[in-house]
Amino acid sequence: MNLVLIGQQGSGKDTQWHLLEKKLKIPLLSISQYMREAVASNSLLGNQVDQYIKDGNLVPDEICDSVLRERLNKPDCSNGYILDGSPRTGPQAILLDYNLWGKNQKIDKVILLTITDEEIITRLKGRAEEALKKGETPRSDDLNEHAIKRRIINYKNNIEVIRMYYEMKGILLEVD
């Protein structure tokens, strides 16, 4: 089974998908995690990704697609997977379907988590404060309310196309 979870940052994707990962015994593929790993590597790609994230912008489609294609080709994905954080744009959704079609695969279900803007801001600021209390380094884009609001705008600019795309395919489930 191939699942996609989409929702704004702070909507609870990580919490829900870790539960599903254990129940279904298929890997959770987090694009956000792969992007953070790229940043931590301090590579040229990582530095580019870091600047997009710090500014509250989405990482460009071609970078996300390349990272995702590489991960989907690993053997642990042969029996299914849960995608977290991708696709985030209409072109990414189309690229994903194209790449899967070439492997005779498809997405079985897309779950869209919905949340209010106010709750997003509260959760992301809380996540940053909790990290600081634990002595951890919070995500840089959780510390900056301007970046949070920019992420909300970017998400809203892209989600409607994705929602309609998967709704037309008959595989969308919206959850509040």
Beta bridge partners of 111: 5, 173
Strands 172-175, 81-84: parallel, antiparallel or unpaired by DSSP? unpaired
Least confident of 52-56, 114-118, 166-170: 52-56
How confident is residue 43, by pLDDT bands cut at 50, 70 and 90?
Answer: confident
Q: Decide if 77 contacts 71 (C-beta within 8 A).
A: yes
Q: Which residues contact 135 (CB under 8 A, 6 or more apart)?
A: none
**DSSP state letters, 127-147:** HHHHHHHTTPPPPHHHH-HHH
Q: Check whether 111 has a pLDDT greater than 90.
A: yes
How confident is residue 98, by pLDDT bands cut at 50, 70 and 90?
Answer: very high
- Higher-scoring residue by pLDDT: 109, 71: 109
Q: At what angle do helices 44-54 and 61-72 cross, to 10 degrees?
A: 120
How confident is residue 168, by pLDDT bands cut at 50, 70 and 90?
Answer: very high
Q: What is the pLDDT of residue 76?
A: 92
How confident is residue 122, by pLDDT bands cut at 50, 70 and 90?
Answer: very high
Query: For 59-74, how does the pLDDT look when each residue is reduced to its tens digit (9 = 90+)?
Result: 888 888 887 887 888 8
Q: What is the pTM of this model?
A: 0.81
Q: What is the pLDDT of residue 115?
A: 93
Query: For 14-27, how does the pLDDT look when each residue is reduced to its tens digit (9 = 90+)?
Result: 788 888 888 999 99
Q: What is the pLDDT of residue 16?
A: 83
Q: Decide if 113 contacts 175 (C-beta within 8 A).
A: yes
Q: Which residues contact 62 (CB under 8 A, 6 or more apart)?
A: none
Report the candidate in 69, 60, 63 with the shortest Cα–Cα distance to residue 102: 69
- Cα 173 vs. chain centroid, distance in angstroms? 17
Residue with tokens 């697609």: 65
| Phi and psi, residue 90, nearest 5° | -55, -50
Q: What is the pLDDT of residue 101?
A: 92
How confident is residue 51, by pLDDT bands cut at 50, 70 and 90?
Answer: confident
Q: What is the pLDDT of residue 63?
A: 84
